[in-house]
Amino acid sequence: MSNDLFGSQGPGDRLYADAVCAQCGTVNPESTLICKTCGNNLRDQRTIRLAADAELTAQAKPVERRRVVLGLLTVLGILLVLWMVFNVDTLANWLVNSQQTAINIQGTLWKGKDSAIFNQLLDDLDAVEFSAAESRAALANPTASESMDGFYVLGVNGPLGSRPVGSANALLQEETLYFVARVGETVEIRGKAQQQGSSWTASWESAGAQQGELYYSVAGIGVLKPEGYWECFGQAEISEDGYEFIAGKISVSPSLSTEGE
């Protein structure tokens, strides 16, 4: 069964990340984006590590032992601060839940207490239809809005621009962003995201996908870009590859709404 949520990935689409999690020590499969044990962002961890390595290489010259020790302590201190900034919420969750437990994602999202919210969001999404031109326009010029609520077109970037691959519907209640999405003709995604600084993050236990009779956990991060679209990174537990996609908000005209809307 195919587990490619956003189309075939070329060599340039793969997201590189550390395999060994600095937070919990787990050795993850190659190209894993988010640690499957504690949820640590392995892509950001790799970026920070490479920046530190470059700094150390540039400063490699004969110096006194004391200066070497002080320099290393300074770099380690900076890394620790950056790591805490990127992972403060994940760290807290890891300290409370030190052991990974099996996740019943179907029971949590499709049959749990929030299933009514997800079902309504999905019904609303299925009640509208976007033309190919409207979908491309939403990715190129997303609707400007301060509200997170509403419909989105999902797309992947290619040589000829952004290509639509799905649609989504979101609802912000208090501090939780509920979302559902349809990708292609076979995949349904639903989950809850929490804000972490300038990004919104969905963890393995709060997001999942359905493909036929198969249910599995997914995780992802979304960042709002100045151009108005969301840049998103995600991963499914059944795949070692990460996926990069964008989401552009789209207005729904009365002609696309069902009766009663």
Mean pLDDT of 167-184: 94
Q: State how far the Cα of 162 lies from the Cα of 154, in Å rounded to an integer.
A: 9
What's phi and psi for 37, nearest 5 deg?
-95, -50
Average pLDDT, the chain: 77
Mean pLDDT of 225-232: 90
Q: State how far the Cα of 8 lies from the Cα of 2, in Å rounded to an integer.
A: 10
Structure tokens at 117: 């919210």
Mean pLDDT of 199-216: 92
pLDDT-derived band at 259 (thresholds 50, 70, 90) equals very low
pLDDT at position 19 over 60: yes
The region of weakest confidence among 57-71, 121-135, 140-154 is 57-71
* CA 255 to centroid of chain Cα atoms: 32
Structure tokens at 80: 């620790």
Would you state the CATH architecture of domain 105-256?
A: Beta Barrel (2.40)
Could you read off the pLDDT of 93-146 as tens digits, one per residue?
A: 433 343 344 679 999 999 999 999 999 999 999 999 889 999 999 999 898 888
Residue 217 burial (CB count, 10 A): 23
Q: How many angstroms separate the first and last alpha carbons of the chain?
A: 37
DSSP assignment of 147-174 equals ---EEEEEEEEETTEEEEEEEEEEEEET
pLDDT at position 192 over 80: yes
Would the pTM of this model clear 0.85, i.e. be above it? no
Domain regions of the chain by residue span: 12-96, 105-256
pLDDT at position 62 over 90: no
